Amino acid sequence: MPPVTQKQIAAALGLSQATVAAVLGNIPGIRMSAATRQRVLTAVARSGYRPARHARLMRGARSGLLGLLQYGGVPPTAGHSAALATQALLAGGYETVAGSVDWDGTGQPQALRTLLDLRVEGLLLLDPARSIPAETLGLFKAQRIPIAAVNGWVVPEVVQQRADVFRGMHALARHVLETGRRRLVLLTFWPDSSRAEASCWPTLERVAGFRAGFTEAKAALGCTATLQEIIWKSIPSGGDACCRMGEDALAGLLQWNSRPDAVICHNDSVAQGALKACAARGLRVPEDLAITGFGAEPASGYGWVPLTSVAEPTEELVTQAVARLLAMVRAGKVFDEPQITRHACRLVIRASSHRPTEWVGKK
């Protein structure tokens, strides 16, 4: 069925199309009775009429749209962030045009051009890659379209909310050493390819934070401990890829002559795979080995051994980013200070990293 037009509504009511347009556009200065205005609004509601967005834009009207672009991300974390952002933007009175691109920027030029063509009034980036072209950012700035971001690379002149991952991993390192573990292994991703700069920002901050925390805690505790790093040179793809990588890595670690007593995993999915490998081989967690993750996904607290992890304040990050973006849109600003706001992560200590004696006592 073809869409209902203003002309059809006017004809059905015996009014001019200009009168219907005045009511729908809330145009001031046109005299009409309250009864006529109500007749038009009632007919519009019953007909299912929807205004032609492009026609409104040609007349200089606001689009009422905000863009949302998600870069990569690991489910379910990425989906949760996007859902929170969409809800917050809708609550702010805007419809959302959403897109998803890879961490290396595949699909990014087309997505950004589409958002410009739709005349979005603002843009929210979730985990932006380093590959955003400066000239594209310039187009948004020239059209006075503000941009806000959550995590990802630091993008010049983009207001950004960031989880303080460095401090979160710093705290995790100290916790692991304080439980008496002395042979630590860090499992993480660090792509050795042209995609590296665009995609490894989570690794950079996590590894730097853990290294610093390990060094400082070792000195403070006056202990002798070792930290070895196993770095995968590829980015996992597929729903269970991280789990499989964790399972395979743990199986390999168990073949070492000096078996580690703590394995620090890149995320909760890698850790779940490592836990599976332990269960298959009769290895006790945390009595024989401590395992930790990152992300504090809801399911990570309900496994056969609840998982210690670092939680990012996702809701806080997204809510604040949307609030900053809406404030800039309403004030007509393209940029505002402060550019970067850091939000504290939370160390969630569960059974997988307890002192062995503590866990035995709770069984």
pLDDT tens, position by position, 69-87: 988 766 667 778 889 999 9
Provide CATH 3.40.50.2300 ranges for the chain.
65-163+314-345, 164-311+347-362
Of 239-243, 267-271, 274-278, least confident by mean pLDDT is 239-243
Query: Which residues, 6+ apart, have CB-to-CB distance to 16 below 8 Å?
Result: 10
Bridge partners, 341 (sequence order)? 161
Of 111-125, 149-163, 222-236, 257-271, least confident by mean pLDDT is 222-236
Q: DSSP letters of 265-320?
A: ESSHHHHHHHHHHHHHTT--TTTT-EEE-SS--GGGGSSSSPPBEEE--HHHHHHH
Structure tokens at 1: 């069925």
282 falls in which pLDDT band (50, 70, 90)? very high
Task: Supply the pLDDT for residue 238.
Answer: 59
Residue 125 near residue 115 (C-beta atoms within 8 A): no
258 falls in which pLDDT band (50, 70, 90)? confident
Residue, of 359 and 24, whose pLDDT is higher: 24
333 falls in which pLDDT band (50, 70, 90)? very high
241 falls in which pLDDT band (50, 70, 90)? confident
Query: Which residues, 6+ apart, have CB-to-CB distance to 264 below 8 Å?
Result: 172, 173, 176, 184, 185, 186, 187, 210, 292
Task: Supply the pLDDT for residue 348.
Answer: 97
Peptide bond preceding 338: is omega within 30 degrees of 0, i.e. cis? yes
Provide CATH 1.10.260 ranges for the chain.
6-51
Mean pLDDT along residues 220-226: 96
CATH architecture of 164-311+347-362: 3-Layer(aba) Sandwich (3.40)
What digits encode the pLDDT tens for the residues 166-198? 999 999 999 999 999 999 999 987 655 444 444
- Mapping DSSP to helix (H, G, I), strand (E, B) and coil, where does residue 15 land? coil
pTM: 0.79
Sheet holding 262-265, edge to edge: 226-232, 183-189, 262-265, 290-292
Task: Supply the pLDDT for residue 37.
Answer: 86
Rounded to whole angstroms, the Cα distance separating 54 from 69 reads 22
Residue 312 near residue 78 (C-beta atoms within 8 A): no
Mean pLDDT along residues 124-141: 83
Of residues 362, 324, 356, 363, the one with CA closest to residue 341: 324
Task: Supply the pLDDT for residue 104.
Answer: 66
Task: Supply the pLDDT for residue 362.
Answer: 47
Q: What is the DSSP letter of 3?
A: P
Angle at 89 between CA 96 and CA 40, to 5 degrees: 70
137: pLDDT strictly greater than 80: yes
Peptide bond preceding 236: is omega within 30 degrees of 0, i.e. cis? no
Is the domain spanning 65-163+314-345 CATH 3.40.50.920? The answer is: no
Query: Which residues, 6+ apart, have CB-to-CB distance to 289 below 8 Å?
Result: 259, 260, 261, 262, 263, 278, 283
Rounded to whole angstroms, the Cα distance separating 23 from 17 reads 10
Task: Supply the pLDDT for residue 284.
Answer: 94
Q: What is the DSSP letter of 232?
A: E
Share of the chain above pLDDT 90, in %: 46
Task: Supply the pLDDT for residue 44.
Answer: 84
Of 53-67, 142-156, 161-175, least confident by mean pLDDT is 53-67
Task: Supply the pLDDT for residue 53.
Answer: 57
Mean residue pLDDT across the chain: 85
CATH architecture of 6-51: Orthogonal Bundle (1.10)
Residue 124 near residue 68 (C-beta atoms within 8 A): yes
Mean pLDDT along residues 293-316: 93
Structure tokens at 128: 């932006």
323 falls in which pLDDT band (50, 70, 90)? very high
